[in-house]
Amino acid sequence: MTSTKLTRVQIGVLTAAFVPMLATGVFGGIGTYSNIGHAYGKGTALGALAAGEGATAVLALVLLGLTMLGQSSPRIVRAGLWALPAAAAVMGAMAAPDPGRTVIYALTPMGMSVSAEGMAFLARRIVVHTDGRDAENERHTADLVQAL
């Protein structure tokens, strides 16, 4: 197995890519809190944020950590990364005061999913580049072999 170090330019570009992804997730959480808070109160908004974006953030960190360790992520983690924000999107749509804001309220929680998936994708590519192996691809190949 080969080991390749990232150059300073690569580190700079990857950092520049991670920052807006992280910001997207944070602002998605803030927007969701604001939207739900106006409809149901700040206490309910805090609970909804913890259940939706908070749980999504935990799954994103698990996915990111496993990826950085060169391990594949369990399917339940990936499913959760989309199911939790999808549920939050439905909740946001229900909290919208009018049809015009329904789409905005529904899309706001998706910022966390896109952020988490984007960071995990970049982390996976970094691991593949530096370690020369792709744990997700290895898991997929093993699943195919077992299916045969």
Q: Which two tokens stand for residue 49?
A: 């944020």
Q: Which residues contact 119 (CB under 8 A, 6 or more apart)?
A: 18, 21, 22, 60, 64
**Per-residue pLDDT tens for 85-115?**
888 889 889 999 999 999 999 998 888 778 8
Quote the CA–CA distance of 109 and 129 in Å, as a whole number.
31
pTM of the entire structure? 0.70
The H-or-E segment that residue 140 falls in is helix 135-147
**Per-residue pLDDT tens for 62-88?**
888 887 787 888 889 889 988 988 888
Domain residue limits, the chain: 29-147
Residue 1 predicted with pLDDT over 60: no
